[in-house]
Amino acid sequence: MRCCGGSLPCPRAALRLELVLRCGQAFRWRESSPGHWTGVLADRVWTLTQTEERLCYTVYEEEEEEEEGSSTKPKQRDVQRQGEEAAGSLCSEPSPREPGGGTDSCEAQQILHDYFQLDVDLAALYQAWGAADPHFQQVAANFPGVRILRQDPVECLFSFLCTSNNHLVRITGMIERLCQAFGRCLGQLDAEPYHTFPSLQALAGADAERRLRGLGFGYRAAFVSRSAQAVLKQFGTKGLYQLRHVPYPEARRLLCTLPGVGAKVADCVCLMALDKAEAVPVDTHVWQIARRDYGLELGAGARSVPLRMHRELGGFFRRLWGPYAGWAQAVLFCADLKLFRQRPSAGRGPSGEPASREAALAHRRPTSAPAAGQGSAWPGATEAAAAPSKGQRGARRKRCSGEPDCTSPGCAPQGGL
């Protein structure tokens, strides 16, 4: 694969990669080497890292097909070496466009600017939220730079369809298998293959549900396949993107008509893909934050979050934090994750290195595929849309899975947005 790279001004106070890419907004970024994050964005493979003042990137692209008789498989590159280059020369001046095409520095920077929504003045928002909410001001001091990603609506929707009754490690593996089975291969880095996210047409195919069940998706296979069919029928290929231009309540309502999409998933898509900054995804985790830190006693003793509570909690936080309430909620959500609670600086020392080897490896891509039906409840699994069988519910009541992100009854919620 050929590559180019560069950097753009972006202080760590405005963006903390180790927080934003690990908190459960997106599931395809992994820490390929300490402080270097590799994933797929805009159908390209990227490695991101940062200094105190700059966001650095390397973009890898597919090689052009070679002459007949030669291999057309993209060449393997070493992520560690490329990451070291990004931390060095790439953080000085952006690289010019390579001869023969590819992503030039202007286009790459625009993609990153849009993905991380760098036009949003995060410092001003933190200041406003802190002035309105003393609890936020106290917590946010240790968690600067938490932003909401602006994701592709198709990838965001179908990724969150995989989160019901699930935990982070298994979700990541499922989405990876989904991309390998239905996406297009972009090549390999450090012996790891990378793929595009599948198209709606691929997920809506006649045998998609059967193939997904074979990949361990269980009952979610039907939701993925049937939602893809419904999106194509109701909205068309570009229909999800057009929801960026309709009011939040209408976008949320339309999403909730799709198979398997409840209030939590709809709000996640609205917030993270459809430019609805006021959307506040509510799950058992956010519900506990509201009860513990804000004294709200909605639905005490309930095991799930009913639709009425979604509306009431969302309204409460919108009144408190204003039109970017979903962004403020993400900061408190990050601060409350066990992963980050144990290390207020997100596991980083003064030099920005991981606090331990385990921390550096914690978010590498899973190498084994869990069997269908395994896994503990994900915080977003409180919707009735993805109701498991009576036997499955009983199994979750009886035991905890032991996973770090387990949120089975009796365990403290530790999952993602």
Are the C-beta atoms of 4 and 108 separated by less than 8 Å?
A: yes
pLDDT at residue 415 tops 50: no
Which residue in the block uniquely carries the two structure tokens 């625009």? 110
pLDDT at residue 388 tops 90: no
Q: Any idea what the Cα angle at residue 218 is, between residues 29 and 208, rounded to 5°?
A: 80
Q: Which tokens belong to 1?
A: 């694969």
Are the C-beta atoms of 310 and 282 separated by less than 8 Å?
A: yes
Which residue in the block uniquely carries the two structure tokens 């992963």? 339
DSSP letters of 20-34? HTTSSS-SS-EEEET
174-195 pLDDT tens trace: 999 999 999 999 999 988 999 9
Mean pLDDT confidence for 221-239: 94
pLDDT at residue 2 tops 80: no
Mean pLDDT confidence for 155-178: 92
Are the C-beta atoms of 35 and 47 separated by less than 8 Å?
A: no
Residue 280 is classified by DSSP as: -
At residue 318, φ and ψ (nearest 5 deg) are -65, -40
Which H or E element spans position 178?
A: helix 168-182
- Class assignment of domain 2-119? alpha beta
Which H or E element spans position 41?
A: strand 36-41
Q: Which tokens belong to 204?
A: 């809506």
For the chain, domain boundaries:
2-119, 149-276+365-417
pLDDT at residue 39 tops 80: yes
Cα–Cα distances in Å, from 299 out to 287, 333, 416? 9, 20, 22
pLDDT at residue 25 tops 70: yes
86-125 pLDDT tens trace: 434 344 333 333 333 456 789 999 999 999 999 999 999 9
Residue 170: which of 13, 353, 365 has the closest Cα? 365
Which range (33-47, 273-287, 341-355) has the least confidence?
A: 341-355
268-282 pLDDT tens trace: 999 999 999 999 999
Which residues are identified as catalytic? 264
pLDDT at residue 248 tops 80: yes
Are the C-beta atoms of 197 and 155 separated by less than 8 Å?
A: yes
- Cα torsion through 312, 313, 314, 318, rounded to 10: 100
Cα–Cα distances in Å, from 186 out to 44, 102, 180, 250, 364? 7, 14, 10, 36, 19
Mean pLDDT confidence for 123-148: 96
Q: Are strands 36-41 and 44-50 parallel, antiparallel or unpaired?
A: antiparallel
Helical ranges in 216-295 per DSSP H: 220-234, 239-242, 248-255, 263-273, 284-294
pLDDT-derived band at 283, boundaries 50, 70, 90: confident
Fold of 149-276+365-417: Endonuclease III; domain 1 (1.10.340)
Report the pLDDT value the prediction gives residue 300, as an integer from 0 to 100: 55
At residue 93, the 3 state secondary structure works out as coil
Compute the residue count for the chain.
417
Please give the Cα distance from 269 to 324 (Å, whole number).
15
